[in-house]
């Protein structure tokens, strides 16, 4: 019995659908039985406070988590993300399948997709990359329609998908830019500008959020993630990562697919520019810091397309795909069953946070140094938790959260996983949790400290017989504003202290402080003259600097981070820093 061309085509589509459905079931099982990754807990926290934007990400990932979070456990956090993968892989199949597609082609396509390591990982994790992959394929679908027939309907569709890309992840802007650059003739069509206007209109709520929050996300991604200096290993690690991310077993087919490509077709040309553009852009980005593997994820689609078209006639291609399938299937089964007792953020998290909850004994827990621990603690124990913005840590969405006001006057456990405190708890994963108990907690996080005048000081370097240098006192005039409905004052057991800090590197800071004897009256600004005595002098260079307030040993970040320039001579250290602008 022979299969007609139309029935052959239908048989291929059905097989892709069946195989992707089986893949989805595998994702579903992994989503249900593996613990939350740290960032997943962070986005679950987002979903409890739906908004048009967040400190470091657009809002679509929060919406996806919110849609299914009514289900219990990790499945409720991840369900929507698992549903996206079979949808975008099915749609991409329809974008690249040949006119004479057969069931052999359908099997090969799914095997190539299954052999992509990051598609395995982002098929069940609730991360922004899941909606980014979905909206990238939607945009490519809309672009293919638009480039084939430029009309009003397709322009509106294109504008909608551009906005969805922007709501998924900021890397979506690179997808749009590269695709447009692949077809510059479109810049002469007014419909493209209509699409841009539609995208801008739909994206306006997020832009307004950014405006009202001082464009915090742009500043964080463009400046805040820069490394202190270039290191060759940033580039070498990126090249090695890219090789692994796209599975080197398919590299020959990728080269063959690109060389045999007919790039007069705008869609195929867009795929080529998308692949090359992403790889080159992030190669250059290694000059400013390390590149995370998932940042190049949208390039997986042109990779799959070129490999698929080159491998269709290769007899051994399906063998390569089956070998990859078996290997990845074994890895995923082992990851869920965990017979080797893996320890990491996807395993044993309930035991870790339950142990902390036993110590807390109903008291709120204020975590320091980590913005992902509080949502994990709440997710696994139901207890109250908060993240204190710490002076040498990166900022996060907790900057805008005032829920610690509910802890006022209560006993609070203040803890972290790195710096020693009064007590130590050995966790089930073998790592310590350091903590102290504050009997009468009053938050200080919302207090603002501003330098009234620019700092321009020349301080003598004080030599020590022990071989360590220190500095003379740095005199500053500060305006300290207390927004809370209670006075803040020093006690013998909980003294107040103002400190200036210099972020020499991401996790290294120098600085010094002085006791604060003034009472900070509720709802008022107090002007303070401080002689800040610094221990180790900061290193030479220009670095972020600010002020923090501490009660006991728990400093919070209470000011803008402005650039300070430090210059050392033989006997003096010169420090310059602009005044803060409220």
Name the percent of the chain lying above pLDDT 70. Answer: 95
pLDDT mean over 182-204: 96
Q: Give the pLDDT band of residue 221 (cuts 50, 70, 90).
A: confident
- pLDDT for position 225: 64
**Rounded mean pLDDT of the chain?**
90
Q: Give the pLDDT band of residue 517 (cuts 50, 70, 90).
A: confident
Instruction: Report the distance separating Cα 71 and Cα 74, nearest Å.
Output: 8
Q: Give the pLDDT band of residue 82 (cuts 50, 70, 90).
A: very high
Please give the residue that has the higher pLDDT: either 315 or 163.
163
- pLDDT for position 367: 93
Q: Give the pLDDT band of residue 467 (cuts 50, 70, 90).
A: low
471 sits in which H/E element: strand 470-471
Residue 2 has pLDDT above 50, yes or no: no
Nearest to 480 by CA among 491, 490, 471, 470: 490
How confident is the model over 130-167, as pLDDT tens digits? 999 999 999 999 999 999 999 999 999 999 999 999 99
Name the percent of the chain lying above pLDDT 90. Answer: 64
What would the two tokens of residue 61 be? 């990932």
Look at the block and give the residue holding tokens 């001579």.
569
The domain spans of the chain are 5-213+235-337, 349-438, 448-577
- pLDDT for position 1: 35
- Is residue 275 a contact partner of residue 303, using CB atoms and an 8 Å limit? yes
Taken in order 485, 489, 492, 498, the sign of the CA dihedral is positive
Residue 214 has pLDDT above 70, yes or no: yes
Residue 428 has pLDDT above 60, yes or no: yes
Q: What is the CA radius of gyration of the chain?
A: 27
Look at the block and give the residue holding tokens 């004479």.
100
DSSP 8-state assignment for residue 220:
I
Residue 112 has pLDDT above 70, yes or no: yes
- pLDDT for position 246: 86
pLDDT mean over 431-454: 91
Residue 3 has pLDDT above 50, yes or no: no
- Is residue 377 a contact partner of residue 367, using CB atoms and an 8 Å limit? yes
- pLDDT for position 460: 85
How confident is the model over 249-276, as pLDDT tens digits? 898 899 999 987 677 889 999 999 999 9
Instruction: Report the distance separating Cα 83 and Cα 92, nearest Å.
Output: 15
What is the DSSP pairing of strand 423-426 with strand 474-482? unpaired
Instruction: Report the distance separating Cα 508 and Cα 501, nearest Å.
Output: 10
How confident is the model over 472-484, as pLDDT tens digits? 788 999 999 999 9
Per residue, the 3-state secondary structure of 102-168, as one string, reads: CHHHHHHHHHHHHCCHHHHHCCCCCCCHHHHHHHHHHHHHHHHHHHHCCCHHHHHHHHHHHHHHHHH
Any idea which of 121-125, 285-289, 379-383, 468-472 has the lowest mean pLDDT? Answer: 468-472
Number of neighbouring beta carbons within 10 Å of residue 260: 10
What is 448-577's CATH topology?
Immunoglobulin-like (2.60.40)
Any idea which of 226-230, 282-286, 409-413, 460-464 has the lowest mean pLDDT? Answer: 226-230
How confident is the model over 328-356, as pLDDT tens digits? 999 999 999 999 888 889 999 999 999 99
Residue 69 has pLDDT above 90, yes or no: yes
Residue 438 has pLDDT above 60, yes or no: yes
């Amino acid at each position: 019995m022979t299969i007609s061309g139309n029935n052959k085509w239908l048989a291929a589509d059905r097989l892709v659908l069946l195989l992707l459905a089986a893949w989805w079931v595998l994702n579903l099982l992994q989503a249900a039985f593996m613990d939350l990754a740290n960032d997943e807990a962070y986005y679950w926290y987002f979903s409890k406070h739906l908004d048009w934007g967040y400190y470091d990400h657009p809002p679509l990932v929060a919406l996806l988590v919110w849609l299914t979070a009514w289900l219990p456990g990790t499945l409720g956090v991840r369900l929507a993300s698992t549903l996206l993968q079979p949808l975008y892989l099915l749609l991409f199949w329809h974008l690249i399948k040949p006119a004479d597609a057969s069931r052999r082609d359908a099997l090969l396509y799914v095997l190539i997709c299954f052999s992509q390591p990051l598609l395995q990982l982002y098929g069940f994790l609730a991360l922004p990359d899941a909606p980014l992959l979905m909206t990238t394929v939607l945009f490519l679908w809309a672009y293919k329609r638009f480039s084939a027939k430029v009309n009003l309907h397709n322009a509106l569709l294109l504008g909608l998908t551009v906005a969805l890309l922007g709501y998924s992840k900021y890397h979506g802007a690179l997808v749009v830019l590269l695709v447009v650059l692949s077809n510059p003739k479109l810049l002469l069509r007014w419909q493209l500008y209509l699409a841009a206007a539609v995208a801008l209109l739909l994206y306006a709520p997020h832009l307004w959020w950014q405006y009202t929050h001082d464009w915090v996300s742009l500043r964080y991604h463009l400046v805040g993630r820069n490394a202190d200096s270039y290191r060759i290993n940033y580039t070498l690690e990126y090249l090695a990562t890219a090789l692994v991310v796209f599975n080197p077993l398919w590299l020959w087919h990728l080269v063959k697919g690109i060389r045999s490509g007919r790039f007069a077709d705008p869609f195929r040309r867009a795929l080529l520019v998308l692949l090359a553009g992403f790889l080159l852009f992030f190669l250059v980005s290694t000059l400013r810091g390390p590149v995370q593997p998932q940042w190049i994820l949208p390039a997986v689609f042109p990779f799959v397309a070129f490999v698929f078209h080159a491998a269709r006639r290769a007899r051994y291609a399906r063998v390569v795909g089956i070998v990859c399938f078996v290997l990845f299937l074994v890895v995923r089964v082992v990851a869920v069953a965990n017979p080797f007792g893996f320890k990491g953020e996807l395993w044993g998290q309930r035991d870790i946070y339950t142990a902390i909850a036993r110590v807390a004994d109903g008291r709120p827990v204020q975590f320091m140094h980590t913005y992902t621990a509080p949502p994990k603690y709440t997710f696994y124990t139901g207890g109250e938790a908060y993240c204190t913005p710490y002076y040498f840590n990166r900022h996060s969405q907790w900057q805008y959260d005032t829920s610690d006001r509910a802890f006022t006057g209560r006993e609070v456990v203040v803890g972290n996983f790195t710096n020693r405190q009064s007590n130590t708890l050995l966790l089930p994963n073998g790592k310590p949790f350091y903590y102290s108990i504050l009997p009468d907690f009053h938050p200080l996080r919302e207090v603002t400290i501003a330098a009234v005048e620019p700092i321009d000081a020349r301080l003598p370097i004080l030599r020590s017989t022990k071989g360590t240098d220190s500095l003379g006192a740095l005199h500053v005039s500060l305006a300290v504003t207390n927004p809370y409905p209670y006075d803040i004052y020093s006690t013998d057991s909980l003294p107040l202290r103002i400190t200036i800090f210099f972020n020499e590197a991401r996790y290294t800071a120098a600085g010094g402080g002085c006791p604060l004897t003034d009472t900070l009256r509720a709802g008022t600004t107090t002007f303070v003259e401080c002689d800040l005595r610094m221990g180790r002098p900061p290193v030479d260079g220009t670095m972020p600097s600010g002020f923090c307030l501490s009660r006991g040993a728990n400093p919070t970040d209470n000011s803008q981070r402005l650039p300070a320039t430090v210059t050392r001579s033989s006997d003096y250290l010169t420090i310059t820093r602009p005044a803060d602008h409220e």
